[in-house]
């Protein structure tokens, strides 16, 4: 349904996209996961015909995004990061206006507006001024606006940014339900690791304008053998720590901030006492040790050499 091949885009000397390629199958929820500034929103803006790529090609539902812009726009719904609702209109008025813009009228327009108000769970607030909606309700209305003209493909750019944790979880349920109810192909961008884990059938991890790996969340995590063990060294003796870890079967993988050694080991919980004992026996001061099952954070670290959270906060 979506084909992206080697997209490149440069803004004011910054390489926003550096050869992005991926494909989205019909009927799936596909995620672009990456820290802020990774190139996710730029990719979406190219696909929804709001900007051109400098190089590469892309198509949506068989329509070239550069040569067939009107056909693409008729096929898609787009929910940007910033809300597009009229805060001084009601939910129903917003939907009716959106429908008229899309050429809808009469009974079909009214029926579709009522249908979507029910579908996204704001029918009880349909005739209230949007200014008085909660953040979650506004985001539901944003999604309804994107669905008004019955698109085949829906683009959701950071759909839960700014929502509190409870509203975010509710939105995850909503997106999953909408995908089934409307038989949609959905492409969403997110910098929330748990959101990508929860929502997507497949995902591509994007870093610094490139897709570094693609697959299902389960397969990507399963590809990392063993548990992740992070050892923070007080003395900074990183090289010595890596040597000791390798000697007890913990394969060193990355070094963070010149003091945290990340290794992978089978049965991390059982291996931990031996790891600590070996480090202390070698005279290496250990500030902290943690062990965790493979996560998308670990996948990002493995393929980029950088910590996801640190890079996201720095953007």
Alpha-carbon distances, residue 306 vs 2, 67, 163 (angstroms): 29, 38, 27
Element (H, E) at 259: none
In sequence order, the 6+-apart residues with CB closer than 8 A to the CB of 119 are 144, 147, 178, 181, 182
- pLDDT for 232-260, tens place per residue? 988 778 899 999 999 999 988 888 888 89
Q: Residue 306: CA atoms inside 13 Å, Cβ hemisphere, count?
A: 16
Residue 315 predicted with pLDDT over 70: no
Percent of the chain at pLDDT > 70 equals: 99
Q: Is 22 exposed, middle or buried (0-12, 13-18, 19+ CB in 10 A)?
A: buried
Distance in angstroms (rounded) separating the CA atoms of residues 243 and 65: 52
Structure tokens at 33: 């996961």
pLDDT value at position 40?
96
| Mean pLDDT rounded to a whole number for the chain | 92
- Please indicate whether the domains covering 2-221 and 225-293 agree at the CATH topology level: no
Structure tokens at 146: 């994107």
Q: What are the beta bridge partners of residue 261?
A: 231, 255
Output the CATH code of domain 2-221. 3.40.50.300
- pLDDT for 179-188, tens place per residue? 888 889 999 9
Output the CATH code of domain 225-293. 3.30.70.980
* Of 13 and 1, more confident: 1
pLDDT value at position 313?
83
Q: Predicted confidence band at 165 (pLDDT cuts at 50, 70, 90)?
A: confident
| Count of other CB atoms within 10 angstroms of residue 80 | 18
Residue 168 predicted with pLDDT over 90: no
Q: Got the DSSP string for 193-209? A: HHHHHHH-SEEEEEETT
Alpha-carbon distances, residue 68 vs 5, 61, 132, 178 (angstroms): 17, 11, 39, 27
pLDDT value at position 111?
96
* Of 57 and 306, more confident: 57
Percent of the chain at pLDDT > 90 equals: 69
- pLDDT for 17-61, tens place per residue? 999 999 999 999 999 999 999 999 999 999 999 999 999 999 999
Q: Are strands 153-157 and 14-24 parallel, antiparallel or unpaired?
A: unpaired
- pLDDT for 188-226, tens place per residue? 999 999 999 999 999 999 999 999 999 999 999 989 888
Distance in angstroms (rounded) separating the CA atoms of residues 278 and 284: 9
Q: Predicted confidence band at 163 (pLDDT cuts at 50, 70, 90)?
A: confident
Q: Domain ranges in the chain?
A: 2-221, 225-293
| Count of other CB atoms within 10 angstroms of residue 13 | 5
Would you call 11 helix, strand, or coil by DSSP?
Answer: strand
Distance in angstroms (rounded) separating the CA atoms of residues 105 and 89: 19
């Amino acid at each position: 349904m979506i084909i992206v091949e080697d997209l490149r885009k440069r803004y004011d000397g910054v390489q926003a996209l550096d050869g992005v390629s991926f494909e989205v199958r019909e009927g799936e929820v596909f995620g672009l996961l990456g820290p802020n500034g990774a190139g996710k929103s730029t990719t979406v803006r190219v696909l929804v015909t709001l900007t051109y790529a400098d190089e590469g090609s892309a198509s949506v539902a068989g329509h070239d995004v550069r040569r067939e812009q009107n056909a693409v726009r008729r096929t898609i719904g787009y929910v940007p990061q910033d809300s597009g609702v009229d805060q001084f209109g009601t939910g129903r008025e917003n939907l009716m206006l959106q429908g008229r813009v899309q050429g809808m009228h009469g009974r079909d327009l009214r029926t579709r507006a009522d249908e979507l108000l029910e579908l996204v769970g704001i029918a009880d607030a349909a005739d209230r001024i949007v200014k008085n909606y909660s953040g979650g309700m506004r985001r539901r209305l944003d999604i309804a606006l994107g669905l008004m003209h019955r698109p085949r493909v829906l683009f959701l750019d950071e759909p839960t940014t700014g929502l509190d944790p409870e509203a975010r979880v509710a939105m995850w349920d909503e997106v999953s339900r909408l995908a089934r109810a409307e038989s949609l192909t959905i492409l969403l961008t997110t910098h929330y690791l748990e959101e990508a884990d929860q929502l997507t059938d497949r995902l591509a991890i994007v870093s610094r304008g490139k897709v570094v790996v693609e697959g299902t969340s389960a397969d990507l995590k399963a590809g990392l053998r063993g548990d992740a063990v992070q050892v923070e060294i007080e003395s900074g003796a990183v090289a010595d720590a890596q040597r000791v870890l390798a000697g007890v079967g913990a394969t060193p993988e990355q070094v963070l901030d010149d003091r945290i050694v990340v290794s992978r080991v089978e049965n991390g919980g059982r291996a931990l006492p031996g790891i600590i004992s070996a480090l202390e026996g070698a005279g290496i001061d250990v500030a902290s040790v943690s062990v965790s099952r493979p996560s998308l954070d670990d996948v990002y670290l493995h393929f980029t050499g950088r910590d996801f959270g640190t890079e996201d906060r720095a953007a």
